Amino acid sequence: MILSLYLILAAGLFAVGLYGLLSQQSIVMIMMGIELAINGVIVAAAAVWYFIVPGSPDAQTVVLVAMTAMAVEMGMGFAVTTAIFRARDVDMVDSASDLKG
């Protein structure tokens, strides 16, 4: 495989995530768009790192740390979204606009 194929995959993931982020009003769908966009960035970073320094486990370590941090972030986001939904029966961004400080 060549680097350009991985970068095309990463750009596709990022574009789909960005579209999901900007076109949806449901909080869960927005978070899924963010997840896809971040996954695109991780794929691009890992591919570039793999082709620059082949055989080095540094890229794998960075990808695992980034995916772990992303999983924790999404878990916290879904917990907050669930709490908002249970307290106010709100699942749309526009309906939760009074939460800003």
pLDDT tens-digit profile of 41-57?
Answer: 999 988 898 888 888 78
Give yes or no for residue 90 having a pLDDT over 80.
no
The whole-number pLDDT of residue 101 equals: 56
| pLDDT on residue 62 | 83
Q: Take residue 67 and report the two structure tokens written for it.
A: 């995916």
Asked if pLDDT for residue 36 goes beyond 70, the answer is yes
Contact yes or no for 67/42 (Cβ under 8 A)? yes
Computed on alpha carbons and rounded to an integer, the radius of gyration of the chain in Å comes to: 17
All domains in the chain, ordered by first residue? 3-92 (1.10.287.3510)
Confidence of residue 73 (pLDDT cuts 50, 70, 90): confident
Structure tokens at 38: 């971040």
Using pLDDT thresholds of 50, 70 and 90, give the confidence band for residue 99.
low
